[in-house]
């Protein structure tokens, strides 16, 4: 999943001047370090040692989330109360599982993360490499 996000980022970066791409960097606690004022997140506390984030909606934008140290974490989606299916709007970072069987909820990893916003319709207009 991280490799997919990086591939989209690289594609956008090649055409950065043509597309309206926004980005921001956040600390693990949800506070913005720097970046576009349009990007804001909400931190949702869950069980002890765990929390979820959500990127607040911005018109026409879809967001990629990339942890600054992707080698030690994986992203987990959250579930809205009363729903059995995970919702990709909510996410958290946990340690890469080490093969042990755990009970309960794995705690979050304190990792800073980037949020990059792009307009999907911009990607659909890409003509290079399209058969």
pLDDT value at 130 more than 80:
no
The DSSP call for residue 84 is: S
Residue 57's CB: how many other CB atoms inside 10 A? 11
Q: How many helices (H) and strands (E) does the chain have?
A: 2, 8
For residue 78, the Cα-to-chain-centroid distance in whole angstroms is 12
What pLDDT, on the 0 to 100 scale, is given for residue 32? 97
What are residue 96's phi and psi, to 5 degrees? -60, 125
Copy the structure tokens of residue 33: 């370090």
Total-model pTM:
0.79
Q: Give Cβ neighbours of residue 39 (< 8 Å, ≥ 6 apart).
A: 22, 23, 24, 32, 55, 56, 58, 63, 115, 117
pLDDT digits (tens, 9 = 90+) for 23-82: 999 999 999 999 999 999 999 988 787 899 999 999 889 998 999 988 889 898 888 778
What pLDDT, on the 0 to 100 scale, is given for residue 131? 46
Q: How confident is the model at residue 124 (pLDDT cuts 50, 70, 90)?
A: confident
């Amino acid at each position: 999943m991280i490799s997919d996000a990086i591939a989209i980022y690289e594609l956008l970066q090649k055409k950065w001047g043509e597309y309206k791409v926004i980005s921001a960097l956040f600390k693990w606690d949800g506070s913005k370090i720097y970046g576009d004022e349009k990007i804001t997140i909400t931190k949702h506390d869950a069980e002890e040692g765990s929390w979820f984030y959500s990127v607040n909606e911005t018109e026409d934008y879809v967001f990629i989330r990339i942890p600054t140290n992707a080698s030690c974490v994986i992203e987990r989606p959250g579930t809205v109360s009363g729903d059995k299916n995970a919702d990709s709007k909510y996410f958290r970072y946990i340690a890469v599982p080490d093969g042990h069987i755990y009970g309960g909820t794995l705690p979050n990893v304190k990792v800073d993360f980037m949020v990059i916003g792009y307009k999907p319709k911009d990607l659909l207009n890409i003509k290079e490499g399209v058969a």
